[in-house]
Amino acid sequence: MGNKTRLSAKISASFLIGTMMLSSPLQAAGMVKKIGKGEGQVNIVAWAGYIERGDTMAEFDWVTGFEETTGCQVNVKTAATSDEMVALMNEGGFDLVTASGDASLRLIAGKKVQEINLDLIPSYKTVDKRLQNAKWHTVNGKHFGVPYQWGYNVLAYRTDVFSKAPDSWSVVFEEQTLPDGKSNAGRVQAFDGPIYIADAALYLMSVKPELGIKDPYELNEDQYQAALTLLRGQRKLVGRYWHDAFVQIDDFKNEGVVASSSWGFQVGILKADTPIGAVVPKEGATGWADSTMLHADAENVNCAYRWLEHSINPKLQGDLAAWFGSVPSVPAACTGNALLTDAGCAANGYESFDQIHFWRTPVSKCETQDQCVPYYRWVSDYIAVLGGR
């Protein structure tokens, strides 16, 4: 936790500026008109596990063939949180980013990404219609991203501790005795990105309806303080705040972690040799819908556009969904993929789209009430929570 807290403090200024830019007028960059000769490489900021070349498991490789066909070498920088992605894009030097909804609008408003010319992406018409014009990558009718994958944040738990699946997020938010007779203190984890405040708010929507929370990303001052109070109490229970998927995998295997918010990616890998289960508790779940976005100053635009088209082919989409435990942005990927299987999309939540509270950047001007706490407050206050304040 300490190292990540220092990282959060180090990059907070960068994404704080990006957050405040949400109130500035939008000025779209000039759109690419045609694709020319490839530059020889494309540099991508991505979540862990999103851009695979078979290094972990040979059958999961959607990079090698692309490189051989296009001559564009794929270089990947892994980011652990949306805030880190925003900071990296602010620094520059990258062509593409797989941005979640709590980063994408900041990047658009901050003029760090450019409008996408959908005429240059023939396969865009095959994208799930629920995603084609999604508000986290579409502004004033202009598209700034190509949908990549989506999913929700599950409650992962060790089945050798829980005789039956826990049905509430209370196991990570409130001190209690677990089915093995031991306290959950020191044995649970929480995500260390500021957007996790929404998970606390979602839990409070159910357990404290008197707060009147209608949207976990739109909190007035009283609702926000209630979420912080819950998180400060949780701080006494958390052994480590997770941000690295592979570190969390090891923590479940070897460090005594028995329950945590997680992704299907970690659960899928852990199932090979660890007694692990995952559930969406009765309070619901937050989630993420990721779009690949093109940097406003991308140096390798031609290779980037080739990757954007490649990123939504059904084979890649199905393989990635099988690997990450997510849902493809292309419905055709849900059938005929040997790795995902025809049952994979349903198992990963394809029909739950309308029940997921997708990540997005909190702003002061909100729809459900007069005034909401903006994201820059979430950033500074969550860093304080991590530090025990």
Task: For residue range 308-346, list pLDDT tens digits in order.
Answer: 999 999 999 999 999 999 999 999 999 999 999 999 999
Shortest CA distance to 105 belongs to which of 132, 86, 128? Answer: 86
CA dist., res. 181 & res. 5, Å (int)? 32
Give residue 30's pLDDT: 72
Q: Which domains does the chain have, with CATH numbers?
A: 2-150+288-351 (3.40.190.10), 154-284+362-386 (3.40.190.10)
How far from the centroid of its chain's Cα atoms is residue 212's Cα? 26
Pick the more confident residue, 46 or 12: 46
Mean pLDDT computed over 51-75: 97
How far from the centroid of its chain's Cα atoms is residue 205's Cα? 22
pLDDT averaged over every residue in the chain: 91
Determine how many CB atoms are found less than 10 A away from the CB of residue 383: 17
Residue 225's pLDDT band (boundaries 50, 70, 90)?
very high
The one-letter amino acid at 147: P
* 42: phi then psi, degrees, rounded to nearest 5: -145, 135
Q: Is the pLDDT of residue 277 over 50?
A: yes
Shortest CA distance to 234 belongs to which of 268, 259, 270? Answer: 259
**Six-digit token string for 221:** 């001052």
Q: Is the pLDDT of residue 49 over 50?
A: yes
The one-letter amino acid at 99: A
Give residue 99's pLDDT: 97
**Six-digit token string for 70:** 């296009």
Decide if 87 contacts 193 (C-beta within 8 A). Answer: no
User: For the chain, how far is it from start to end, CA to CA, in angstroms?
Assistant: 14
Residue 29's pLDDT band (boundaries 50, 70, 90)?
very low
Task: For residue range 118-143, list pLDDT tens digits in order.
Answer: 999 999 999 999 999 999 999 999 99
Bridge partners (DSSP) of residue 292 are 98, 146
Q: Is the pLDDT of residue 24 over 90?
A: no
Q: Is the pLDDT of residue 189 over 80?
A: yes
Residues making up the chain, counted from first to last: 389
Shortest CA distance to 146 belongs to which of 44, 239, 64, 40? Answer: 44
Mean pLDDT computed over 81-107: 95
CA dist., res. 361 & res. 159, Å (int)? 34
Residue 19's pLDDT band (boundaries 50, 70, 90)?
very low
Q: Is the pLDDT of residue 3 over 70?
A: no
Give residue 80's pLDDT: 87
Decide if 382 contacts 196 (C-beta within 8 A). Answer: yes
Bridge partners (DSSP) of residue 61 are 53
Give residue 1's pLDDT: 32
According to the 3-state scheme, what is the secondary structure of the chain? CHHHHHHHHHHHHHHHHHHHHHHCCCCCCCCCCCCCCCCCEEEEEEECCCCCECCCCCCCECCHHHHHHHCCEEEEEEECCHHHHHHHHHHCCCCEEEECHHHHHHHHHCCCECCCCHHHCHHHHHCCHHHHCCCCCEECCEECCEEEEEEECEEEEECCCCCCCCCCCHHHHCCCECCCCCECCCCEEEECCHHHHHHHHHHHHHHCHHHCCCECCECCHHHHHHHHHHHHHHHCCEEEEECCHHHHHHHHHHCCCCEEEECHHHHHHHCCCCCEEEECCCCCCEEEEEEEEEECCCCCHHHHHHHHHHCCCHHHHHHHHHHHCCEECCHHHHCCCCCCCCCHHHHCCHHHHHHCEECCCCCCCCCCCCCCCCHHHHHHHHHHHHCCC
Model-level pTM greater than 0.75?
Answer: yes
